[in-house]
Every structure is written in structure tokens, then in C-alpha cells.
Amino acid sequence: MDILLAHAYFLHEDAHERQVMKPYPPLGILYLSSYLKKAGFSVGVFDGTFQQMSDFEAALNAHQPSVVGVYVNMMTKRRALQMIALCAARGVPVVVGGPDPRYYAAQYLRHGAWVVVHGEGEQALEELIPALVKHGRSRLHEVAGISHLDAEGRLAETAPRPQLADLSAHPWPDREAIDLPQYMRVWKDHHGHSSISVIQSRGCPYTCKWCSHSVYGNTHRRRTPEDAADELLWIRDTYQPDRIWYADDVFAINHRWLFAYAGALKQRGVRIPFECISRADRLTEPVIALLKEMGCFRLWNGSESGSQKILDAMQRRVDAADVRHKTHLLQQAGIETGMFIMLGYKGETIADLVETVQHLKASSPDVFLTTVAYPIKGTPYYAEVEADILTRGAWEDTADRDLTIAGRPSRRFYSFATRWMVSEVALNRAQRSGGVPLKRRAKLWLNARIGWAGMMLTQHEREARGVPLSAANGYAVS
């Protein structure tokens, strides 16, 4: 076998995801597989989602690949390093790619990887596989778009590689290389319906400071509407999914493409209920009506904050009032709304948190998810707070989301803040809708008060220890 493609996500090890149970296949390595097979390589795929590390060892022993390619993100780094070590013990060259390795290339290479691919991996692997087999490490300087260690053990980075210009010239992801029906069964067993993911574009041109563009850069490239519709027709006829998840960063970004895609689906008689992510500024009444007609049942919006000050600091390029307005338009059209909320961004105060709660009350999304901002290396946000980052443990045992920032409230503070926010918004909804038992409303009120009191307590404890929140670094909570 020329190459074994793998990812390091093991569902059984993730307590949160086991509770949620909404797994999707690793489309990235499935795209690599179909591309390399078309180029004439012998390719295997190790999908670790429902497996264990011992299964990866068995795959190495069974296939004896000439090269192993491992996709890595910050959540899978620890297990990826174990996979790299297993390959190194067998003398198998390892190529790593994905969002995490690009800016930690030296660390991955010194932990056993031979090559770190920058950006898209299709053409890089097409060139790397024969180079590694024929010349080992000696000719890596001739391959564009990678990092490697030179003969003296120093980090070397080659010239950038152009991105794929025509996504529709690319074969569809190699879904038949994995047990896709198992994913569908898990969805059906836990949620009563099956779901399959697709992606019709690559990249996002927006400038949100905290968002990583390490794989696709700030580009946005789309497949042709006809190619995208042909794939969905094939998926429908082959797997009969109940729902589709569009994994595009901003599904409704290009209106001309969206209307053409909707027309191509209609010509093929394809209409599968779906959910997607978009931005408020890319939603108009005609676009919302079209999404509903196409089968959109839920749209996720990266609201992030209800404070315009924080949105502007993020360079989010959205207006909080417009987010609320578009949320109402979606709901009026019969489309469920979801929001992503980010707490703890630089400069955020309790007043900003209060604005976010008021924003959520006013917009009343059907569901919202919260996270605490963390600096991802390579982003403008990381550069802004780098001097204040406090490392926690060795690199191989931590991820970017584990980093703490000096001067920012504690994780305990944000745990209370989340409790307050979720309960306060739920209480407001219960009071407006009516019909909610008094006991339930009392519980929500109590949880909201506990959350608020906990926020105040952690702030006062910090001040009592003589460690005031630094207004200088922008994390004042007062």
C-alpha cells in the first residue's frame, strides 16, 4: 500500500461527544483518498471514529503502508502523537496535516513526523509519496508547501504551494472507503433520523481575529452548482439520508451560486432537509425564502456576542441588531435558529456579558452554544494576547484551548457566567411563552442567581488575593 490515511479522533474517548452522539465522517481524508486513487496510488483509510488505538496498530501491520498520512486538529493532537510514535517504531514515514500542525511544525517533526503539509494536502501528497519512497528525507526541499527537518536537524520550510483552482475537477470524497452506514445507524439510534455531511466550498474570506485559516487561507472557492447537485443526488440514491449537514463555513455566502445550486437540485428532483452555518449579513428575505424552499430546517449563526464593541474588536464585521433581525426573519420563515456565543474575548466586561444576555433574550434563538475564547496559534487574536499566555504543562500534553491568559477571569468565573446566561435566557423564554410550570421557572431563577452570585464571588476573591483584573491588558471585569 502506498499510503494509509488516518485521523486521530476516537469517539469512545470523548465523554461529551458520546453524550451528544452526532458523529460525521472525516471528509478531509476522504477527499485525499479519492484524489490519490484517481492519481493511481494504492490508498487505505483508517477511520478511528468507532475504533481504538489497537485497531490502528492492526491496520499498520495488515497494510504495511509505505507512508502514513495523519490529519490533526487541536482536539486530536495527543492521540495523533501516539499514532506517529507507532509509525516511527516501524520506520514508516509520517506526513501530518490539518489545522494544528502548520504553526507547530517543529514540535510535530521532533516528535517523529517526517513532513508537515501546509494547507491542502492533495497535490502535496501526490508529490510526497514517490519522493519519500525513492529518496527518503533527502529531497524534501524540492517539494513545495511543506515543513521538514534538514540534514542538520533544523526546521526548513519550502515555498508555498498554489491552492486547488477547480474544486469540481476533484473527485467526490471517498465515502465508500469507510463504514458510512454505521454513522447513519448511530444517528438513527440516538436521534431518530440519519444525517450525512457534505461540503460545497473551501475557505472563508472574513477576518474574524480568533478564527484559524491555516488550511485554506482567506480564500473562498466553490464547486460548480451542477457538480454539487450531482453529488447530493448520488448520496440520496446511495444512502437515503434523512438529513444533510452542509459543513461550509458560510453556506449562503454567494447568492448567485446558491440560487443556481437550488435550481440544479430542483432539476434533479432532490430535496433533503438540511442544516447549515451562515452569517446574518448574507441573509436577505429572498435568500431565507430560498433556504426554506430548499429544505433548510435549522441555520446556525456565529453571533459570538451581543456587544457591538466586542464584535468590532473581533473584526467580526456584523451588526448585533442585524443578527437579531435576521434571527426573527428565519423564525418567521419556519427555520430554526442556532447561535454560537463566545465569552472571554479580550476587552470583555460584565457590561458586555449583560449585553449578550439581553441580545439572546431579544433574539430568542431556538438554541445557543457557548464557548470561552482561546488563542489559536497563527491567528491575529493569538498575536494580540501572546505576551499574556500562560502555558500549562508540556506541549505534547496540551492544546491551544488549554491555554490560559493572564489578567482574564478564571475558568470558574466563566463556568458561573455560562450558568447565569443559559438560565437567564431560558427563564425569559419561559416567562414569555407561558405554560411553563412554576416549579420549573423557580429552578431557572435560582440557577440564574447562583450563576450571577458565583461570578461576583470569583471576582471578589481575586481582588481579595491582591490580583486585580488588569484594565491595561483589556480584561477588566467591572
pLDDT in tens, 124-174: 999 999 999 999 999 999 999 999 999 999 999 999 999 999 999 999 999
| pLDDT at residue 476 tops 70 | no
Cα of first residue to Cα of last residue in the chain, in angstroms, is 61
Query: Which pTM was predicted?
Result: 0.93
Cα separation, 452 vs 273, in Å, equals 39
Q: Residue 457 is which amino acid? A: L
Residues in contact with 337: Cβ distance below 8 Å, sequence separation at least 6, in sequence order = 298, 299, 300, 301, 327, 330, 331, 363, 365, 366, 367
The torsion angles phi and psi of 368, rounded to 5 degrees, stand at -140, 150
SS3 413: helix
pLDDT in tens, 385-439: 999 998 778 899 989 988 889 888 989 999 999 999 999 999 999 999 888 899 9
Q: Which domains does the chain have, with CATH numbers?
A: 3-154 (3.40.50.280), 193-336 (3.20.20.70)
Q: What is the DSSP letter of 98?
A: S
Q: Residue 418 is which amino acid? A: T
Pairing relationship of beta strands 243-246 and 221-222 according to DSSP bridges? unpaired
Cα separation, 135 vs 429, in Å, equals 65
Cα separation, 124 vs 120, in Å, equals 8
Q: Assess contact for 111 and 396: CB atoms under 8 A.
A: yes
What pLDDT, on a 0 to 100 scale, did the predictor assign at position 261? 98
Cα separation, 266 vs 291, in Å, equals 13
Cα separation, 473 vs 478, in Å, equals 14
Determine what percent of the chain is predicted with pLDDT higher than 90. 88
Residues in contact with 283: Cβ distance below 8 Å, sequence separation at least 6, in sequence order = 252, 299, 326, 329, 330
**Cα–Cα nearest to 342, from 248, 398, 417:** 417
| Per-residue pLDDT band at 447 (split at 50, 70, 90) | very high
Q: Assess contact for 95 and 117: CB atoms under 8 A.
A: yes
Q: Residue 407 is which amino acid? A: G
b vs e for 121-153, b when ≥16 Cβ sit within 10 Å of the residue's Cβ?
Answer: bbbbbbebbebbeeeeeeebeebebbbbbeeee
Average pLDDT over every residue of 370-386: 95
Cα separation, 196 vs 378, in Å, equals 31
| pLDDT at residue 81 tops 80 | yes
Tracing cell 500549562 back to the chain, one arrives at 392
Mean pLDDT of the chain: 94
Alpha helices in 90-164 (DSSP H): 105-110, 122-135
pLDDT in tens, 223-282: 999 999 999 999 999 999 999 999 999 999 999 999 999 999 999 999 999 999 999 999
Please provide the DSSP assignment of 371-401 as one string.
EE--PPTTSHHHHHHGGGEE--S-GGG--GG
What pLDDT, on a 0 to 100 scale, did the predictor assign at position 467? 53
**Cα–Cα nearest to 187, from 81, 50, 47:** 50
Cα separation, 152 vs 163, in Å, equals 30
Residues in contact with 417: Cβ distance below 8 Å, sequence separation at least 6, in sequence order = 343, 353, 451, 455
